[in-house]
Amino acid sequence: MAAKVEIYTWSLCPFCWRAKALLREKGVEFTEYCIDGDEQARLQMSQRANGYSSMPQIFIDDRHIGGCDDLYELEALDRLDSLLQSAA
């Protein structure tokens, strides 16, 4: 079973596009929360992301991964695939 991946985005954010592109390239299904202009949703995301409010914010199995650069760093370190596998 695959890991649960969630990503908070803005529709015009190039970093969001890059993060989603990497996930799609890896064949990962994810839940996207596009929170354009929704300050309440952004506040909830920020609380969940330990105070971070930049976009995107990515979670794998409810673990905060960070943003686009963090996702690509995990990939470069060959650590992303193991996170994307279910911890079942």
* Measured distance CA(7)–CA(46) in Å, rounded: 12
To 5 degrees, how large is the angle CA 4–CA 82–CA 50? Answer: 55
Instruction: Tell me the whole-structure pTM to 2 decimals.
Output: 0.94
- pLDDT value for 26: 95
All structural domains of the chain, each given as residue ranges with its CATH number in brackets, are 5-84 (3.40.30.10)
| pLDDT digits (tens), the chain, 88 positions | 789 999 999 999 999 999 999 999 999 999 999 999 999 999 999 999 999 999 999 999 999 999 999 999 999 999 999 999 865 4
- pLDDT value for 88: 44
H/E stretch holding 17 reads: helix 14-25
The DSSP secondary-structure symbol of 67 reads S
